Amino acid sequence: MMKMKMNAKTRKLALLLPLLGGLILLAGMFALLNALPAAAQGGEWTDISANLMTVADPCNNTDTGGLTDLFFVSPSEGWVTSGCSSDHGEVYHTTDGGQTWEVQRTEWQNTAIHMRDAQNGYVGGRNGWLYATTDGATWTTVDRGLNFDVLDIECPPTGNRCYESILADVCALEGITWGEVITACQTVAGANVSALSAPLFDSEMWAAGDQIRHYLDGVWYDDQSGSATGEYLNGLDMADSSHGWAVGAAGSILHTADGQHWAAQTNPDTQDRALYAVQALDADEAWAVGAGGLILHTTDGGQTWAIEAIGLTANRLDAVHFPSHSVGYAIGANGTLLKYTGPSQASASASKVALPPRLVVETDPATGDPQSVLQQRYLLFFRYTDPDQPALNVTISDTLPAELTFRQEMHAPEGVTFQQQGQRLTWQADSLPENTVMQAMVYATFDTVPNGPVTNTAAFDAGAWHFRRADATWPALFPPLLTTPSRNGEICTAGQTGGVQIQGMARSDVDVFVRLYENGTE
């Protein structure tokens, strides 16, 4: 799925504050156009603001009311929204990596964007106005919301729904029919919801604001321990159902490795500048941006963060989006648009994540009477990144333990085939393009309530790449959550296949992660 996105948005809250009688943000320094590239870890950031400002409304050259959000569906194609212009809204579109831009118009100014693909997506605007496109070029007004600015839009990689946040409400979006798009709204908290993240399915989501809250199967839960730190959280992004980051005021960085417990990570910025947005590329790598042109990067799950592109701009950065590991973009005040270009990198990661078991009522096939059963749901997914070629003949297989009876499954993307042979479940895709997430949600029930651990075998096969973890166990209360017998167990055999070295390390949590290197070198 994956969207790997990445939304602001105290920047957007700044657009809302004047309506509420709040403080107007102080004007910052003007953009340093045509700045020299700034070196990053393995890549470099470049200021390409001048390319955009040749077509953008000059009002974007201000500290408030200018560029608000961005979304790229590939390293070369993306959209940037604008919150200024007196009598209309503007969306800027590029198909050549930001070298040239075209202007697309909306009825009113814009604050958020999320594209499902190159043709379909939503833009949210001032006073809750909502626009949709089905061709990636023209935007139709489809709804007028709650008279307050849309702060974020999130479209999970599977399912038919998207979501928007307005004030403390999160609303479900479906279709593009006027007046029928917003199907349901729920008040999540007493504070504004600044950012949303639904990494896999439309039935699970996280929201950030005064703290982090968790949405599962239609219900919002205050079960995210460690997230109420007293610092407002502006940005949030989950790499999967376990791993993610949230960032906010005073440079705060929070991280989770299980989707529920959050812990602070060390920010190397000694000025405690606010962070406004974060994107998790996977369980290990993430980018964050903030005040004063601050750009942070981690490649080790947040154990260490590095400041990058020092001196490239002093303007506030409000949103960041990486459509791949090697290409990314950031936008901010005074019409600032930055681009990151790094070395091509092929990587693959796979996870098996359990959701808490629950009692459900179903019909007994033998008697026709209702009965209560213990249902187990879990996710399998494989994420692939290679800018040069697709992954071929990808297969995910899982063997259910004898204690579980398979009920049903859902999978994505289209083109994936599913097969069941007894306890063995298999998903297969002939080809997966770059940044595609192959995923499945499995529903099973226990024949009897388990007493003690059980054993499961899961295998992930991706063409030339193959790794397997056998005889893994999971706690009885949360089956089938994969755990490892040791923190640093070897999970695959290093070897040469087509000039690609494959190595893996078992994590102390539930993920399996492999990074691929050309000719055995990083």
259 and 356 housed in the same domain: no
CA angle, 322 as apex, 229 and 511 as ends, to 5°? 65
Q: Can you tell me the distance from the alpha carbon of 441 to that of 229, in angstroms, rounded to the nearest whole number? A: 33
Q: Is 29 part of any domain? A: no
Spell out the per-residue pLDDT of the chain, length 522, in tens: 333 333 444 444 333 333 333 322 222 322 222 333 454 557 899 999 999 999 998 888 876 668 999 999 989 999 999 988 667 899 999 999 999 999 999 998 999 999 999 999 999 998 899 999 999 999 999 987 667 899 999 999 877 889 999 999 999 998 887 767 888 899 997 778 999 999 888 888 999 999 999 998 888 988 899 999 999 999 999 988 889 999 999 999 999 988 889 999 999 999 999 999 999 998 889 999 999 999 999 999 999 999 999 999 999 999 999 998 889 999 999 999 999 999 876 666 666 666 656 677 777 778 888 877 777 777 777 766 666 667 777 777 777 777 788 999 988 887 899 999 998 888 888 887 766 778 788 888 878 765 555 444 444 443 333 333 333 333 322 222 222 222 222 222 223 222 222 222 222 222 333 333 333 333
Q: Is 3 part of any domain? A: no
Q: Is 5 part of any domain? A: no
Alpha carbon separation from 77 to 38, 95, 244, 286, 455 (Å, rounded): 23, 4, 25, 21, 45
Tokens 């029930």 sit at which residue?
445
Which candidate, 390, 401, 371, places its Cα nearest to that of 470? 401
Out of 309, 341, 373, a domain closes at 341
327 and 360 housed in the same domain: no
Out of 292, 317, 341, a domain closes at 341
Parent domain of 85: 10-23+35-341
Structural domain tally of the chain? Answer: 2
CATH of the domain at 183: 2.130.10.10
70 and 192 housed in the same domain: yes
177 and 265 housed in the same domain: yes
385 and 321 housed in the same domain: no
Query: 454 is written with which tokens?
Result: 């059980």
pTM exceeds 0.85, yes or no:
no
Out of 286, 308, 341, a domain closes at 341
Peptide bond into 480 cis (omega under 30): yes
Q: Can you tell me the distance from the alpha carbon of 80 to that of 71, in angstroms, rounded to the nearest whole number? A: 7
